[in-house]
Chain A
Amino acid sequence: MPELTVSQEIDARGSACPGPLMELIRAIKSSDVGDVVAVLSSDPGSNKDIPEWIAKIGYELLGNEELGGYQRFTVRKSK
């Protein structure tokens, strides 16, 4: 499997709901179609919010890793 090229990684750890989701949306809006954006979040609400937002908008959730006290979500702006 080819390694993913993440064009932008946002560190939103330490930011409470809705901070990490809003930072992800801001980054995705300024990205090109096809880009992969990653966001780090220590807010437990992100675990539901971020996948739900991705499903609603119709982008692709490539990864959701638990990294010890925080999650790393990887998203492709697929359209």
Chain B
Amino acid sequence: MKDRLNVIVMNGTVDKLLAMATIVSGAVAMDKKVTLFVTFWGLMAFREGAWQDPAQQKLPAEYQEYAPMMQEAMQKMGVKPWMETLRIAKEIGDVSVYACSMTKDLFGLSMDDLDDVVDDEKGVAGFISMSADAEVLVF
């Protein structure tokens, strides 16, 4: 088992973000060093406050009809919002979060527009060079 997990966070829908945060939690529990590279719609979901804004909680169109049922089930089961789960993982383990600099510029965002959980920005070559000894997942 490799001791590093690198995750490309490309999607901004809550189903994938929740799965990402849960898997990152499991990885830090098992003592892996985790690096996130947040790009495209993923980066939109990492804008400050976006995770708390009901208008920005999106599901993929094909699963839209399940949204109310999912919300009710998640509340009942005590599933935390994905950003809270990610923050706990970062507090407990070694998690670095990088914004894709190209996406940041494409959407006209500055680092100040992004949630504090984001450590810095990085280009793709930097991320790939960090991935040489890592397993890579895409969400």
Interface, chain A (partner B; CB < 8 A):
14-19, 21-22, 25-26, 29, 49, 53, 56-57
Contact = CB atoms under 8 A, between A and B. Distances in A.
Contact of A57 (B26, B31, B91): B31
Nearest to B85: A18
A52 to B, nearest CB: 8
Contacts of A22: 25, 29, 85, 88-89, 92
Contacts, number: 37
Interface of B: 22, 25-26, 29-31, 74, 77-80, 85, 88-89, 91-92
A15 B78 contact: yes
Contact of B22 (A17, A29, A53, A57): A17
- Top 10 closest pairs, chain A to chain B, by CB: A18-B25, A16-B79, A16-B77, A14-B78, A15-B78, A16-B78, A22-B88, A25-B92, A53-B29, A21-B29
Nearest to A12: B78
23 contacts: A14-B78, A15-B78, A16-B77, A16-B79, A17-B22, A18-B22, A18-B26, A18-B29, A21-B25, A21-B29, A22-B85, A22-B88, A22-B89, A25-B29, A26-B88, A26-B92, A29-B92, A49-B26, A49-B29, A53-B29, A53-B30, A56-B30, A56-B31
A70 to B, nearest CB: 12
A19 B86 CA distance: 11
